[in-house]
Every structure is written in C-alpha cells, then in structure tokens.
Amino acid sequence: MKNKRNNSVGEKAHATGKPLPPEQDKAIRLVKRAIGGDFAAFGDLYGIYLDRIYRYVFYQVKDKMTAEDITEEVFLKAWKAINSCKGKEQTFSSWLYRIAHNRVIDIFRSQRKAQTIDMETVAELHHPTAKIETELDHQEILDGVADLPPNQRQVIILKFIEDLDNREIERIIGKSQGAIRVLQTRALAKLREKLSNGREK
C-alpha cells in the first residue's frame, strides 16, 4: 500500500445531534463499506487518514523513514483487523490512532535511545488548523515538543497538532480525561518555561 502522502487531513466526528457534514458522512459510509470487505473503500480511508497518522507517528519517533514504515504497518494491521471496528467514523479514527499509539510504544520499548528531530522534515508536514489558546505559536510548539516526556508529548501532539478533543485522546492513549488535562497543563508549563528562557538569552 505504498503511496505518496497527500494533503488530505480527514474528518473528525462530533456527537452534536446536527446533520453530518457531507465529508464526515462520506467517511462513515466508507468505514461501513470497508468493514464489509470493500478494499477500495479502505483505500479511500487510507487517503483520508494517511497524513494524520504519519504526522502523529513522526512527532513520536522523529525519523522520516521509521515513521513511514510504521504508518504502513498501522494501515496494514487496520485492514486485517477491520472487522473488529465499529462502523462509525469517530470510532474508526480513534481505533486507527490507537493502533499507531501501540506500535510507537513498542518502538520505544525496543529502542531506548535519544533522537534529534529533523526540523526540515517537520517543515514539510501539514500545519495544525487548531488555534492554540496560549502564548505559544506553532513553531514554538514544534521546537519544544521533542524535549517533552513521551506521555506529555503524545497529549500535545494529539491535542494541538492533530486537533483532537480529550474524549478521543482518552480512547487513543487509555488515560482518563482528568489525567490528560494534567499532562497537558504540565507540558504547556514546560513549553512556556522553555520559551521564556529562550527569549531571555
């Protein structure tokens, strides 16, 4: 399933009770078709979520080739286990992130070594659409996220770069929303401290 990454960011479902946007409705129909064995529908889902999963993995492993390999593994595993997913877009999205999360954890366990982030590669990635309600801008998040502990880094990536809400993050990393808020608060405090120290120099 090797394919050039496209610029599609995908859809994020929200239980609002309002009619679904056409794009989100399409994603839900694709998930149901894929569960029914339609590989072409899964291919469309691959195109929708490829960039999001790749981005999430890359910010964790900080290596382009490793991130590409893991991303392909995630989608291959997802296709093989598609029948275990419920036919809802949000459930599929969280399920896909969960597969990626588990694979990254495996990498961390087997590869206990520090890596430096390639900022030129980061510049090629999709910029987040979420507006971060702090004094930190996008580049400052990128510059500081690599220095955070893994659990805090995951929350910041999912929250501010992938623009997921705490309920979705809870499904992905298996921590309560209260714990997620604590991790987020601590991570932002560290990023602010780093920013403040950098400006003083």
- Residue 125's Cβ-count burial label (10 Å; 0-12, 13-18, 19+) is middle
**How far is 170 from 158, CA to CA, in rounded Å?**
10
Both 2 and 101 in a single domain? yes
pLDDT at 16 (0 to 100):
41
Residues 6 or more apart whose Cβ sits within 8 Å of residue 108: 60, 150
Both 29 and 108 in a single domain? yes
Both 44 and 110 in a single domain? yes
For residue 32, give the CATH number of its domain: 1.10.1740.10
- Reported as a single tens digit per residue, the pLDDT across 123-145 is 444 444 334 444 455 566 666 78
The answer to whether 146 touches 117, Cβ cutoff 8 Å, is: yes
* 59-63, 69-73, 173-177, 180-184: the lowest-pLDDT one: 59-63
**How far is 24 from 29, CA to CA, in rounded Å?**
9
**pLDDT beyond 70 at 101:** yes
Distance from chain centroid for Cα 16: 22
**How far is 40 from 44, CA to CA, in rounded Å?**
6
pLDDT greater at residue 108 or residue 70: 70
**How far is 185 from 26, CA to CA, in rounded Å?**
35
pTM of the model: 0.64
How many domains would you assign to the chain?
2
- Reported as a single tens digit per residue, the pLDDT across 13-50 is 344 445 555 566 778 889 889 988 999 999 999 999 99
The answer to whether 59 touches 155, Cβ cutoff 8 Å, is: no
Both 18 and 117 in a single domain? yes
User: Which residue type is seen at 73?
Assistant: E
Both 77 and 151 in a single domain? no
Both 71 and 150 in a single domain? no
Residue 179 lies in domain: 127-201
